[in-house]
Amino acid sequence: MKSKLLNFPKSFLKPRLGQPWALLALPRGQAGSLLGRQLFRIGLILLVFGVGLVAMTGWLLNQAGDRIQDEFLRRQAAELVNGMQDIPGGPLQMRLPNETLNAYAQRRDGYTFMVENADGLITLESAPMARAYLAPAMGMMAQKPTLLNTMSRDGSAEAMYILTMPVHTPRGVYYLTVGQNRTIDDALLATATTETFNRLVLWSAPFLLLALMVVWSVLQGSLAPLYRLSGKVRALDVLGGETLALENVPRELRPLVESFNLLLNQLTRTLEAQKGLTADTAHQLKTPLAVLQARLEQIDPFKGKELLLKDVQRMSRLVRQLLHYAVLSQQTANLHPTDLNATVRTVVASLVPLARKADISLAYDGPEAPLVVQLDGGLLTEAISNLIDNAIRHSPAKGTVDIALTPRGEYLDIDVKDRGPGIPPTEQALVFTRFWQGPDVPHEGHHGGAGLGLALVAEVMRQHNGQASVQSREGGGSVFRLTLKA
């Protein structure tokens, strides 16, 4: 089960150009495994969701980083606004601890600020050239933290977060602009978020695998009723008219079971009809044939009477064989312990009168003790009768047909040996097929059968898990052998 599950067709994994959705479909003509297909689809869905979730988490982490940065910038701005002192008559001053001011001046944490008045004149700045960094922000009035590209001291490009806040004083409005070199805190934050993100990706892989395993076992469990159902179907005696019980069948499987039962009922009805038809045909054909034969026998001898009688008998034989074959091929053997030795002996005894008419002797060589085997006595009688009957009709007058029952290890051989013309080795494999006719024999009508007798024998043996075979007999003739398991 497991190996089958993983055994995807190779083409399955090869995405087809132009139709990537084809990955979800199976190659033409292949149904694959229901479980495998579902697992693949659910796996794909899990993967898409997983990737989406991870991507979203990454994006949110990034956003969080940005918000942290924004918050820092806002706090910085608030600190600076608090520090601004507008002394009447004097210049605008930034009253902050020296250390803080030094930090700004040296851009220790990457912070820079400047203050403009309403006319756009710069009245304060963190360091003499701070305006150079913040130049792009002038006139922008970035009321939200905004990322801008500025020029660094050495002239290289530099990304900077900018925030401009209006400060209302009695002297008028000033604009405080704070900037932070992005690279400094960003690097720290990025390291944290990337690490978290990587860890998430790393952990989600085994999680996905675990989820797939859970899905697999759930799917397996959900398919169990299907397995149970197929077991029940296999054990069904269809010929006996059995149908599936609806009890304990899950609702989803009910339509299937109901359709199946409907089909079974139709099948049973058809079989019944056919059986009836066969029996009817038997009655319809055999009775007129019996009348014909009886009438012929009642008429005073005339030229050709014997030939006509033979024709009628031949026709009767054909009808009988056809019907036996038809009935046999639609019924199953009813095997029960039976004495094979007695069965064969009885068949031989019953055919002695027929053999005597053809001036043939029958001889049976069997064991002394009974040989009890699982078999259908009626069917086996039919098969052995057919073989002996054939042998009688192919044997020359005054000949003997030898019948033997021989235990051979775990098998039992029933041999029927004649001294007839024999069967060419090239034909031997064909004799048990339907409608096989022996090589032409000069006196026509002597043995012409329907070519069903041996097919019937083969069918009986098939139903007994046995075998029918034919070999050439040493010194001329054939040996027909039925092999049964002891």
Partner 1 sequence: MRILIVEDEKSLAGLMEQTLKQHGYAANVVHNLADARAALTQPFDAIISDRRLPDGDGLDLVKELRTQGNGVPILMLTALGMPKDRVTGLEAGADDYLGKPFSLFELIARIKALLRRTAGAKGLQLEAGNVVLDTLHDTVKIAGKSALFGKREVVLLRHLLQRAGEVVGKDVLEQALYGNTNKEEGGDSRNALEVAIHRLRKLLETNQASLEIITVRGVGYMADEIKAA
Closest CB to partner 1 among residues 327, 372:
327
- Exposed/middle/buried for 298, CB within 10 Å: 0-12, 13-18, 19+? exposed
397 phi, psi to nearest 5 deg: -55, 150
Closest CB to partner 1 among residues 123, 316:
316
Taking the complex as a whole, the smallest distance from the CB of residue 312 to partner 1 amounts, in Å, to: 7
Closest CB to partner 1 among residues 179, 366:
366
Output the CA–CA distances (angstroms, integers) from residue 281 to 29, 272, 277, 434, 455, in the order listed.
43, 14, 6, 20, 21
CB contact at 8 A, 295 and 325: no
CB contact at 8 A, 133 and 112: yes
Closest CB to partner 1 among residues 89, 301:
301
* Cα three-residue angle 105-106-111, rounded to 5 degrees: 75
Taking the complex as a whole, the smallest distance from the CB of residue 293 to partner 1 amounts, in Å, to: 5
Taking the complex as a whole, the smallest distance from the CB of residue 297 to partner 1 amounts, in Å, to: 5
Closest CB to partner 1 among residues 257, 412:
412
Q: Which of 80, 125, 76 is nearest to 105 (CA)?
A: 125
Residues engaged in binding partner 1 (CB under 8 A)? 279, 282-283, 285-287, 289-295, 297-298, 312, 316, 320, 323-324, 327-328, 345, 348-350, 352-353, 356, 361-366, 368, 377-379, 381-382, 403
What stretch of H or E contains 481?
strand 478-485
Taking the complex as a whole, the smallest distance from the CB of residue 362 to partner 1 amounts, in Å, to: 6
Closest CB to partner 1 among residues 11, 334:
334
Taking the complex as a whole, the smallest distance from the CB of residue 323 to partner 1 amounts, in Å, to: 7
Helix/strand/coil (H, E, C) string of 161-178?
Answer: EEEEEEEEECCEEEEEEE
The contacts found for 66-69 with CB under 8 angstroms, 24 or more apart, are 68/189, 69/145, 69/161, 69/180, 69/185, 69/186, 69/189
| H-state helical runs in 241-339 | 254-298, 305-329
Closest CB to partner 1 among residues 219, 403:
403
Pairing of strands 400-408, 361-365: parallel
Closest CB to partner 1 among residues 228, 345:
345
Taking the complex as a whole, the smallest distance from the CB of residue 9 to partner 1 amounts, in Å, to: 51
Taking the complex as a whole, the smallest distance from the CB of residue 382 to partner 1 amounts, in Å, to: 5
How far does the chain reach from its first CA to its final CA, in angstroms? 36
Taking the complex as a whole, the smallest distance from the CB of residue 477 to partner 1 amounts, in Å, to: 18
Taking the complex as a whole, the smallest distance from the CB of residue 266 to partner 1 amounts, in Å, to: 26
Taking the complex as a whole, the smallest distance from the CB of residue 5 to partner 1 amounts, in Å, to: 49
* Cα three-residue angle 442-394-319, rounded to 5 degrees: 90
Could you tell me the two tokens for 316? 């009767």
Closest CB to partner 1 among residues 62, 293:
293
Could you tell me the two tokens for 301? 């001898």
Closest CB to partner 1 among residues 210, 349:
349
CB contact at 8 A, 167 and 77: no
Closest CB to partner 1 among residues 204, 321:
321
Taking the complex as a whole, the smallest distance from the CB of residue 256 to partner 1 amounts, in Å, to: 36
Which residues, other chains included, contact 129 with Cβ-Cβ below 8 Å and sequence gap of 6+?
Answer: 153
**142: number of Cβ within 10 Å:** 18
- Work out the widest C-alpha separation in the chain, in whole angstroms: 163
